[in-house]
Each structure stands twice: as structure tokens, then as C-alpha cells.
Amino acid sequence: SRLADGWIARKPSLYKVSSEKRSWQESRDSCLNMGADLIVVNDIEEQKFLLPYKNVWIGLSDTDNEGVWKWVDGTPLTIKYWAPGEPNNAGNEDCAEISSNAANPMKAWNDVPCYSSFQYICEDHF
Ligand code: 2F8
Ligand code: CA
């Protein structure tokens, strides 16, 4: 079962933190192959869930249109938890991660190159 495979239940979703590191697209494909997708942060409780995790991909990118950040499921980007000064596109950075050096974990998103290799969090709905 999912729970036996290490998925974390937190209604209304199940989450899986990968052990391996991959590019953003490979991470997303891995989640899709499991019938899930990269995590979409819909509210403050979901951002709080992310607090323990650093250098993990979330399901947010601006690959299609520079500066226009989109969630993988098409959810409009309303609440935002960018680190100060981010996203800064410091060298073609089109994919979002949870930064490891954010002073405030509630301001932790950072854009990095999509080919960076990070762990990732998949989300599936009950
Ligand atoms: O200072 C923030 C800045 O730090 C790094 O660049 C020096 C990050 N790059 C990577 O992690 C690859 C930037 O994304 C970040 O904005
Ligand atoms: Ca950045």
C-alpha cells in the first residue's frame, strides 16, 4: 500500500518524499509514474508541512513563460512563500525548490535551474 511505501497521510493528500535526487522534470515524471504529481502548495498549512524539508522540488515552474509561475495542476499562484529577493532568475532559473538557507522557513521558495538535482515531494489526493 501507499502507507507501507512511506507515503505520509495528511488530509486531503498523501505525500512521498523521495530518497533519490533528480532534475525537476525527472522528479515530476517519477511522481506521475506513481499516479501522483509534485506537491502543490495551496494554503499555509501545506507550507507548514514543508518546514522540515530542504532542497526539495515543489510543483512550481515558469518554464513556459518567463516570470509567470504556474503550479503543475494549473492552480493559480495566489499564496506565495518566496524567500526574500526570490524568484531572481539568477542564471535561467525556471523551477522552484525549498531553499536550505532561508532564514524564515515560511519564506523559503527559491528558483533554481531545472536541471539541478534535488529530492522531491510527490502529492496524491485521497
Ligand atoms: O542568493 C540567492 C541565490 O543563491 C544561489 O545563487 C548563488 C541560488 N542558486 C542555486 O541554488 C543554483 C540562487 O537560486 C539564489 O537566488
Ligand atoms: Ca533563485
User: Tens place of pLDDT for every residue, the chain, 126 residues?
Assistant: 888 899 999 989 999 999 999 999 999 999 999 999 999 999 999 999 999 999 999 999 999 999 999 999 999 899 999 999 999 999 899 999 999 999 999 999 999 999 999 999 999 998
Give the C-alpha distances (Å, rounded to integers) separating 101 from 10, 64, 84, 109: 26, 27, 11, 10
What residues have CB less than 8 Å from 46, skipping those under 6 apart? Answer: 39, 40
What residue spans define the domains of the chain?
A: 8-125
Grid cell at residue 80: 506565495
Give the up-direction half-sphere exposure of residue 47: CA atoms within 13 A in the CB hemisphere: 16
Query: Which residue's CA is the closest to the ligand 1 atom numbered 12?
Result: 112
Distance 64 CA to ligand 2 centre (A): 17
Considering the domain 8-125, what is its CATH architecture? Roll (3.10)
Any atom of ligand 1 within 6 Å of the Cβ of 112:
yes
Distance 35 CA to ligand 1 centre (A): 31
Any atom of ligand 1 within 6 Å of the Cβ of 117:
no
* pLDDT confidence of residue 2: 87
* pLDDT confidence of residue 51: 95
Query: Which residue's CA is the closest to the ligand 1 atom numbered 3?
Result: 90
